[in-house]
Amino acid sequence: MAVTETTTTTDLTYSKMRGIAVFVAAFIKQRKMGLNDFIQKLVSNPQICQNHDVHVFLQIDQNEPEEEEETYSNSNRSSLASDEFDLPTSCSVKPSDFHYLKIIGKGSFGKVLLAKHKDNQKFFAIKVLQKKMILKKKEQKHIMAERSVLLKNVEHPFLVGLHYSFQTTDKLFFVLDYVNGGELFYHLQRERVFLEPRARFYAAEIASALGYLHSLHIVYRDLKPENILLDSEGHIVLTDFGLCKEGIEPNCTTSTFCGTPEYLAPEVLQKEAYDRTVDWWCLGSVLYEMLYGLPPFYSRNTAEMYNNILHKPLQLKANISNSAQELLEGLLQKDRTQRLGARDDFLELKFHDFFFPINWDDLMAKKITAPFIPTVTGPTDLQHFDPEFTQQPVPNSVGSSSEDILITASVQEAAEAFLGFSYVPPVNDTYL
């Protein structure tokens, strides 16, 4: 019996060691995953650090050049000195770090919630996505692209900022700037049209944001009033980067059919190659809607609307300035090679007569007082959000960990599909 027990114990020990060895080998293969996924893996599996191969890996010469990796930006990199992996578990982020207060939006893959960080008491908008829904619709590349774009947006005043991203077994979490001035769509619905100075102010802030994205070789592709938020001071915040396309340099094109029907450019509808000028078409459509109350070629009949976009001449009423008419004609040019922005991108808009009243330096510094300031009493004032969302109960499952979920083949697939998703800013970042 003693021999049998000893043999069993040895077999179990060997099996356990072999399991760790296999895990270590797989782990080292995944060294390109995001730094914070890497740290969290170490924190949750401290025995790995004792493995000789991992120990050697953590002793990488700090002068060794870093590998290029598209899925995270320079702001998310740091040297891999071994002492940096003695980080406490608080350096990772998890669902239970937040109080989830209200649902403020919903999408195809999940919900957006107002949340308050338990430690620093700051308010955030947390986008919670269901992995199984993303995989079912084969949208994982778009989600990872959204994360990548968000990490590049931290320096622009009119793009929503990413504070953290993390994942559980079944969910993805984007922790974003909380903006509670309401969607531009919400305000446009209430007021029907905006006066030209107000429309110019919004169009200038949107154009500067799109120009910044283009400078990073990113095409936005889904500009519409629902994706344009107002902050509490009345400034634009562009959000939702799920349809962004990276790597589109000035002379490059792409061909994916995507966007929102009312704002699709003719070349997209015709399934032709298109470039960054699709964003200027969309800006023209949004500006037209701000000035006239509807998108330029709108029809309740989608087929008719598509035909209008392709063939109907642009119709402009005389109740706007000549410079506004000229700008709309330039942006809503059906031939993309003749469209305003086709040659010098944002600079062509920046120096257009319509924007003559804009001091662009003051605009970027938010020194220009917004023509409309939303009435909000504080972070928990949700009057500019749709009650359809805010009146729904917050699911208890949102803030709970999912370690108890049975690890099935589909769950494993979901985990592998989002390697490198997690992001925590450097410790000296002002977000913390």
Whether the Cβ atoms of residue 364 and residue 158 lie closer than 8 Å to each other: no
103, two tokens: 């649902």
Q: Within 13 Å, how many C-alpha atoms sit on residue 358's CB side?
A: 27
Decide if 355 contacts 349 (C-beta within 8 A): yes
CB 384 within 8 A of CB 374: yes
Q: Which of 82-86, 147-151, 178-182 has the lowest mean pLDDT?
A: 82-86
Q: What is the DSSP string of 260-284?
A: -GGG--HHHHTT--B-THHHHHHHH
Examine domains 98-180+378-417 and 183-365 and report if their fold is the same. Answer: no
How far, in Å, CA of 280 to CA of 330, rounded?
9
86 is catalytic: no
Interacting residues of 113 by C-beta distance below 8 A, sequence separation 6+ = 100, 101, 102, 103, 104, 125, 126, 128, 394, 398
At residue 410, the pLDDT reads: 54
Question: What is the rounded average pLDDT of the residues 102-106?
Answer: 91
pLDDT category at 350 given cuts 50, 70, 90 is: very high
- Band of residue 398 on the pLDDT scale cut at 50, 70, 90: confident
The single residue of 61, 97, 119, 222 carrying the catalytic annotation is 222
pLDDT at 230 over 90: yes
- Domain extents for the chain? 98-180+378-417, 183-365
Kindly report, residue by residue over 138-169, the tens digit of the pLDDT: 888 889 989 999 988 767 999 999 999 999 88
Superfamily of domain 98-180+378-417: Phosphorylase Kinase; domain 1 (3.30.200.20)
Rounded to an integer, the average pLDDT of 102-108 is 88
What's the CA gap between 322 and 204, in Å, rounded?
17
The pLDDT of residue 223 is 97
Q: Is residue 331 predicted with pLDDT exceeding 50? A: yes
Q: For residue 284, give Cα distances in angstroms to 190, 225, 322, 350, 351.
A: 21, 12, 15, 14, 16
Residue 270's alpha-carbon distances to 13, 256, 275, in angstroms, are 63, 11, 14
Fold of the 183-365 domain? Transferase(Phosphotransferase); domain 1 (1.10.510)
Whole-number average pLDDT of the chain: 80
With cut-offs at 50, 70 and 90, classify the pLDDT of residue 402: low
Residue 418 has pLDDT above 60, yes or no: yes
Q: Is the pLDDT of residue 260 over 80?
A: yes
Provide the pLDDT confidence category of residue 403 given band limits of 50, 70 and 90.
Answer: low
Residue entry with tokens 């929503």:
160
* Cα separation, 236 vs 256, whole angstroms: 27
For residues 80 and 60, the answer to whether their CB atoms sit within 8 Å is yes
**Torsion over CA: 89, 94, 96, 97 (sign):** positive
Q: What is the pTM of this model?
A: 0.76
Encode pLDDT of 24-82 as tens digits.
Answer: 444 444 433 444 454 445 444 545 555 555 454 444 433 333 333 332 233 332 222 22
Query: Taking 50 as the threshold, does the pLDDT of residue 9 lie above it?
Result: no
| Residue 397 confidence class, pLDDT cut points 50, 70, 90 | confident
Residue 171 assigned as binding residue? no
Measured on CA atoms in the order 331, 336, 339, 344, is the torsion positive or negative?
A: positive
